[in-house]
């Protein structure tokens, strides 16, 4: 039992370090974690279509800025990196909802 708690603490520590690393890498380009989702996934496509026009425009600007920064081999200025919230989700909830609806639809159509 004690070994399990130690293992859990080690795992939690590794998770926090990984999240901090991912957040730092996203901050370099000014991206959010949800910007990195695969747009070819049908569930993500539906989620992107369900975003408000304002959110779609903000996302497009973030991606353009990231491409520009990457092309110039620079990083986002430090003052802008500090105000970024890369781990704040905006698309994952919609993608999960689209996936749940697709699975439900498939299950309902399977037994017809």
> pLDDT at residue 2 above 80?
no
What local confidence, expressed as pLDDT, does residue 39 receive?
93
| Torsion region of 41: left, alpha or beta (phi above 0 gives left; psi -120 to 50 gives alpha) | beta
Q: What is the pLDDT of residues 60-112, one digit of tens each?
A: 999 999 999 999 999 999 999 999 999 999 999 999 999 999 999 999 888 75
Question: Does residue 44 contact residue 38 with C-beta atoms inside 8 Å?
Answer: yes
61/66 Cα distance (integer angstroms): 8
Q: What is the pTM of this model?
A: 0.82
The single residue listed with the structure tokens 């974690």 is 33
Summarize the confidence of residues 1-26 as an average pLDDT.
Answer: 89
Residue 51: phi and psi, rounded to 5, are: -65, 150
- C-alpha distances in Å from residue 41, one per residue of 12, 45, 51, 82, 97: 29, 6, 16, 31, 13
- Nearest C-alpha neighbor of 43 from the set 90, 93, 88: 93
């Amino acid at each position: 039992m004690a070994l399990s708690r130690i293992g859990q603490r080690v795992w939690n520590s590794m998770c926090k370090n990984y999240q901090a690393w991912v957040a730092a890498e996203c901050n370099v380009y000014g991206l959010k974690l949800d910007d990195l989702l695969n747009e070819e996934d049908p569930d993500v496509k539906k989620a992107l279509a369900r975003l408000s026009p304002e959110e779609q425009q903000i996302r497009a600007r973030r991606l353009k800025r990231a491409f520009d920064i990457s092309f110039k081999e620079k990083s986002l200025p430090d003052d802008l990196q500090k105000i970024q919230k890369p781990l704040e989700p905006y698309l994952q909830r919609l993608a999960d909802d689209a996936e749940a609806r697709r699975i439900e639809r498939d299950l309902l159509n399977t037994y017809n």
